[in-house]
Chains A and B, each alone.
Chain A
Amino acid sequence: MTASSVGKPLDRVDGRLKVTGTATFSAEVAVANVAHAVIVGATISKGKITALDVGEAQRVPGVVAVLTHLNAAKVPGADKPTEMTDKVVQVLQNDAVLYDGQPIALVVADTLEHASHAASLVKATYAAEAAICEMDKEIGAGFAPKAAPGRPPPDSNRGDIDAALATAFARVDATYTTPCENHNPLEMHATIAVFQGEDHLTLYDATQGIFGLRKRISKAFDLKPENVRVISHFVGGGFGSKGSAWSHVFLAAMASRATGRAVKLSITRQQMFAFVGYRPQTIQQVTAAASKDGTLVALRHEVTSATSRFDTFAEPSANVTRMLYACPNVKTSHRLVRLDVATPTFTRAPGEASGSFALESALDELSYSLKMDPLALRLKNYAETDPDEKKPFSSKTLRDCYTQGAAKFGWSKRKPEPRSMRDGNWLVGFGMATATYPSRQSAASALARVKKDGSAQVLAGSQDIGTGTYTIMTQIAADALGMSVERVHFDLGDTTFPETPVSGGSQTASSVGSAVKRAGMAVRTKLIDLAVKGKGGPLNGMSAEQVDAEAGVLVSKQDRTKSDSYEAVLARNGLDQIEEKIDEKEKAERKDHSTHAFGAHFIEVKVDPDFGEVRVSRVVSAFAAGKILNRKTARSQFIGGIVWGLGLALHEHTERDPRTSRVVTKDLADYHVPVHADVPDMDIVMVDEVDPYVNEIGAKGVGEIGIVGVGAAIANAVYHATGKRVRSLPITLDKLL
Chain B
Amino acid sequence: MVDASLKRPLSFDVNGKTVNVDVAPMARLLDVLREDLHLTGAKEGCGEGECGACAVIVDDKLVNSCLIPALQARGASVRTIEGVAKGDVLHDVQKAFLTWGGAQCGICTPGMVLAAVSLLEKNPKPTEQDVRVALAGNLCRCTGYMKIFESVLKACETAMARESASEAAR
Contact = CB atoms under 8 A, between A and B. Distances in A.
Contacts of B39: 21
Contacts of B51: 186, 668
A681 B147 CA distance: 10
Contacts of A20: 41, 81-82, 84-85, 90, 94
Contacts of A235: 105
A507 to B, nearest CB: 18
Contacts of A166: none
B85 A465 contact: no
A636 interface: yes
A188 B45 CA distance: 7
Interface stretch (A110-118, A291-299, A534-542, A561-569): A110-118
B43 A636 contact: no
Contact of A21 (B5, B41, B44): B41
Interface string B15-45: 0000000001011000100110011111111
B60 interface: no
A500 interface: no
Nearest to B148: A676
Interface string A1-30: 000000000011011111111111100101
Contacts of A667: 46, 48, 50
A184 B141 contact: yes
Given A16-B90, A187-B43, A677-B132, A237 B144 contact: no
Interface string A216-235: 00000000000000000011
B62 interface: no
A621 to B, nearest CB: 11
A656 interface: no
A21 B109 contact: yes
A673 interface: yes
A466 B98 CA distance: 13
A12 B145 contact: no
Contact of B106 (A23, A111, A239): A23
B119 interface: no
A186 B5 contact: no
Nearest to A16: B98
Interface stretch (A128-136, A310-318, A638-646): A638-646
A669 B48 contact: yes
Nearest to A24: B40
B103 interface: yes
Contacts of B146: 639, 679, 681-682
A445 interface: no
Most buried by A among B3, B94, B136: B94
B143 A28 contact: no
A348 to B, nearest CB: 10
B14 interface: no
B136 A675 contact: yes
B59 to A, nearest CB: 20
A676 B149 contact: yes
A186 B34 CA distance: 17
Contacts of B113: 19
Given A12-B103, A114-B5, A643 B144 contact: yes
B98 A186 contact: no
B151 to A, nearest CB: 9
A186 B27 contact: no
B8 to A, nearest CB: 12
Contact of A268 (B47, B84, B139, B142): B47
Given A186-B45, A186-B141, A668-B51, A18 B101 contact: no
B147 A636 contact: yes
A727 to B, nearest CB: 26
Contacts of A25: 40, 43, 107
A679 B105 contact: no
A16 B48 CA distance: 28
Contact of B35 (A61, A111, A467, A633): A111
B37 to A, nearest CB: 12
B136 A113 contact: no
Given A111-B35, A113-B26, 7 more contacts: A18-B109, A22-B82, A60-B4, A266-B44, A639-B143, A641-B144, A669-B50
25 contacts: A15-B98, A18-B105, A18-B106, A19-B97, A20-B84, A22-B41, A24-B40, A25-B43, A25-B107, A60-B5, A61-B5, A185-B107, A186-B45, A187-B45, A188-B44, A636-B142, A636-B147, A640-B142, A640-B143, A668-B50, A675-B145, A676-B131, A676-B136, A676-B138, A677-B136
